[in-house]
Amino acid sequence: MADSGRSCPTGVRVAVERRLRLARLAPRFLAMYRADEIGPDRLQALALTDVPAA
């Protein structure tokens, strides 16, 4: 889209940014999620903080 001169709709941009933040979480948080030690809401909250506690 950006190459064609069109802008990305806001909702799509927000969704992509959230997914990228989830992908950048510390591996231990992802491991805790996979082990059902934390839920998806907490994982999302960790992803949205600027500096999650390590």
How does pLDDT run across 27-45, given as a tens digit for each residue?
Answer: 999 999 999 999 999 998 9
pLDDT band at 54 (very low <50, low <70, confident <90, very high): low
pLDDT of residue 51: 64
Alpha helices in the chain (DSSP H): 10-23, 27-34, 40-48
How confident is the prediction for the chain on average, in pLDDT? 84
The predicted model scores a pTM of: 0.63
Give the dihedral of Cα atoms 38, 14, 50, 27; nearest 10 deg.
40
Residue 47 predicted with pLDDT over 70: yes
